[in-house]
Amino acid sequence: MGPLILAFALAVAAWLLVVGDLVRRHRPAWHWYLTGYPAAAWRVVSTWRRVALLNDLAVSRLPARTLVGHLLVKGDPVRPVAPRISFPRATRMGLSVVVRLHAGQAPGTYMQAADALVHAWKVHAVRVTSPERGLVLLTASATDPLERPGLASAPAELLSALIGALETGGAWVMNLRLVPHWLIAGATRSGKSTLLARLITQLAPQPVALVGIDCKGGMELGLFTERLSTLATCRREAVAVLTALVVDMQDRMSACRTAGVRSIWELPDKLRPVPVVVLVDEIAELYLSDGTRQSKAEAEQCSTLLLRLAQLGAALGLHLVVAGQRVGSDLGPGVTALRAQLGGRICHRVNDPGTAEMTLGDLNKDAVTVAQAITAQERGVAVCTGPDGGWARARSHLTPTDEAVATARKHSGMTPELPAIERALVALEGDGE
């Protein structure tokens, strides 16, 4: 009977391994709840005290028999006490633990210990947040949720674009009504152009005007010409387009003042001008000059015009989406002033820490560290800010170029005309002749 029992046990074990592998591949959440979570919860509970001691999370508490001046009775050691934690609560592909801080502790200490927690708990990442005073929430992810993000969904709304998925599994949405201006940074092949293509495909079916400024000869935004109301392919054309938009902005101001309202969204539908989204690809091309007088003048004009649109355009339906590989103060003082007006921030993988600091540093220092950790293999992964002032890792949905071009062509009939810009470009051509 012995060999039969052994063979039967081996067959059952092999069957469980095969079934477990199938469940892991096709139902990863089920596999996590059944096998991954119990093991991870045990590691959290069993290692917490030691991890707290080694990473200065524990606080030394004096024994009861303590004399004046903190003199201890001989033989009574100072006892380090680890912070109290809740039992790990299972989440989809992760777990969360609530820590009650000792008096005098701050969440920053736990942020520094996040890597130690990752190794002790054998998880992919640990996120540290403070939902309320005196508490820290440790959220552990068993695997990278952005490695194969699912297709998120979001309700359709004017000037709102579903970009991708957040690391929490929720939808990554750029809502220009909520956050009117955005700054997107990313090195070559980091996913920046894919994100812009995704944004255009999401805005193409909406009754909005899309204005492109691509001073690389229109290599990126030129693919979507059929849906763009206009496209500037050099800085000289960009100056003309931005000047016309500023003039149009003043006309919108006059219309709002006459109607006694503070934004175009309070105007009646028949009087409301069409919203305009200005897409700028490679901001450095607008700010750098070759040293000539004309080049410097054009760079200063672009800086001033972009800043005026960013400062006054939100209530008037004029929105900026500015992208660049390198964003730094070395481009000129106007870049820092413009950055302050771009409330939405997205940082892909960058080649220098200065760009990550410029994009996210004034909002959250921790987000800068996370952005710098994005690897070349994680194309489309970025750190983005949210409307609540926080930040999250996210990944844009892959939109193939041919699909984006087809979408732009399909909705070309919805392209509004902007007469002021057309007149400005015609005048520019006349001056060139």
User: What pLDDT is recorded for position 80?
Assistant: 82
Q: Which helix (H) or strand (E) holds 331?
A: none
The arithmetic mean of pLDDT across residues 67-87, rounded, is 67
The full set of domain ranges for the chain reads 46-64+75-143, 160-432
> Counting Cβ atoms within 10 Å, is residue 392 exposed (0-12), middle (13-18) or buried (19+)?
middle
346: phi > 0 → left, psi -120 to 50 → alpha, else beta; which? beta
Residue 129, judged by CB atoms within 10 A of its CB (0-12, 13-18, 19+), counts as middle
pTM: 0.79
> Quick one: tokens of 283?
């901001």
Residue-wise pLDDT tens digits, 236-253: 999 999 999 999 999 999
Question: What confidence category does residue 16 fall into, taking pLDDT thresholds of 50, 70 and 90?
Answer: very low
List, for residues 385-399, the tens digit of each pLDDT value. Answer: 877 677 888 998 888
Angle (nearest 5°) at CA 176 between 275 and 343:
125
Strand partners, 383: 347, 393
Q: Are 200 and 194 in contact (CB under 8 A)?
A: no
**What is the mean pLDDT of the segment spanning 329-355?**
88
Contacts of 187 (CB under 8 A, 6+ apart): 325, 348, 349, 350, 351
From the list 149, 104, 97, 92, the residue with the least C-alpha distance to 126 is 97
- What is the mean pLDDT of the segment spanning 222-228? 93
CATH class of the domain comprising 160-432: alpha beta
Which residues, 6 or more positions from 33, have their beta carbon under 8 angstroms from its beta carbon?
90
Rounded distance between C-alpha atoms, residue 412 and residue 223, angstroms: 12
Say if residue 120's pLDDT is above 90.
yes
DSSP letter at 313? S
Q: What residue type is 115 in one-letter code?
A: D
State mean pLDDT over 63-90: 68
CB 80 within 8 A of CB 60: yes
Distances (CA, A) of 413 to 6, 276, 282, 419: 72, 16, 28, 17
Instruction: Quick: pLDDT tens for 265-317.
Output: 999 988 999 999 999 998 988 888 877 888 888 889 999 999 999 999 999 99
Per-residue model confidence (pLDDT) at position 427:
82
Strand partners, 184: 323, 346
Dihedral of CA 329/333/335/340: which sign? Answer: positive
Q: Which CATH number fits domain 46-64+75-143: 3.40.50.2300, 3.40.50.620, 3.30.980.40, 3.10.580.10?
A: 3.30.980.40
Contact 221, 212 (CB under 8 A): yes
Distance of alpha carbon 163 from alpha carbon 152, whole angstroms? 9
Confidence (pLDDT) at 330: 78
Selection from 396, 7, 418, 363 nearest residue 186 by Cα: 396
